[in-house]
Amino acid sequence: MDFKNCVAYDLDGVLAEAPPARPKSFFKSTGPERKEWNEFLAEWYKQTKPLLRPTDEPFIVITARKCREPYKSITVHWLALNMPHMNWKLFMHEKARTLKNVIAFKGEVLRLMEATKFTEDNKKVLKGVKELAPNCELFHFDGKESIPFTK
């Protein structure tokens, strides 16, 4: 299936409920605290609630979730379970999750896939992506509805 010229969605905060903020930054956390957080995230990703159900098919899912196990298989399983019989393609982030890297990653996917629309919950990401994928119509999801993003 060709996924060019599709609608794209962020995962956490748009298609799925976003996890809570990390209690301590990565650099201030000890090894055991980092391990505990990673285990918490894996459980969160397995059980997170769906928020928005796409109406366009096929569609693209772009997430800043780490593209490594167990997150990758958990994410694929969650999408299959919560978006059954829907045609989607998943793109997961592989670099450090800085705002700059996330914007570059999402902008690159949108541009390469020639996405027509993108829904995201983070306005900072939308602002950066706007410059990288100028032909993509952007929407901010506030937890209830998607609003055109023009800023």
At 23 the pLDDT is 87
pLDDT for res 26: 84
State residue 90 phi and psi, 5-degree precision: -105, 135
Each residue's pLDDT, cut to its tens digit, for the chain (151 residues) gives: 689 999 999 999 999 999 999 888 888 989 999 999 999 999 999 999 999 999 889 999 999 999 999 999 999 999 999 999 899 999 999 999 899 999 999 999 999 999 999 999 999 999 999 999 999 999 999 999 999 998 7
Predicted structure pTM score: 0.94
